[in-house]
C-alpha cells in the first residue's frame, strides 16, 4: 500500500491536469457541504411541520 502511495506521488501531472484535480476536489468538498446544509435545513423545516 505504501509503495502505491509513493508511486502515485512520484507521477508528475500536467499542470492543467493538476489544476483540474484540485478543482474537482474543491467542487467535491463544496458539494458535500451544500448537501449537509440542505439536510440540516430540511430537518429544521420538518420539525415545525410535524408539530
Kindly give the confidence (pLDDT) of every residue in the chain, 51 residues in length, as a single tens digit, with 9 standing for 90 and above: 466 655 656 667 788 888 899 999 999 999 999 999 999 999 888 877 665
* Distance, CA of 42 to CA of 38 (rounded, Å): 6
Tell me the Ramachandran region of residue 39: left when phi exceeds 0, alpha when psi lies from -120 to 50, beta otherwise: alpha
Which single residue is written with the C-alpha cell 463544496?
Answer: 30
Taking the whole predicted model, whether its pTM rises above 0.75 is answered as no
Amino acid at each position: 500500500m505504501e509503495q502505491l502511495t509513493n508511486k502515485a506521488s512520484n507521477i508528475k501531472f500536467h499542470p492543467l491536469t493538476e489544476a483540474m484535480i484540485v478543482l474537482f476536489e474543491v467542487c467535491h468538498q463544496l458539494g458535500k457541504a451544500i448537501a449537509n446544509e440542505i439536510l440540516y435545513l430540511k430537518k429544521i423545516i420538518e420539525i415545525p411541520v410535524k408539530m
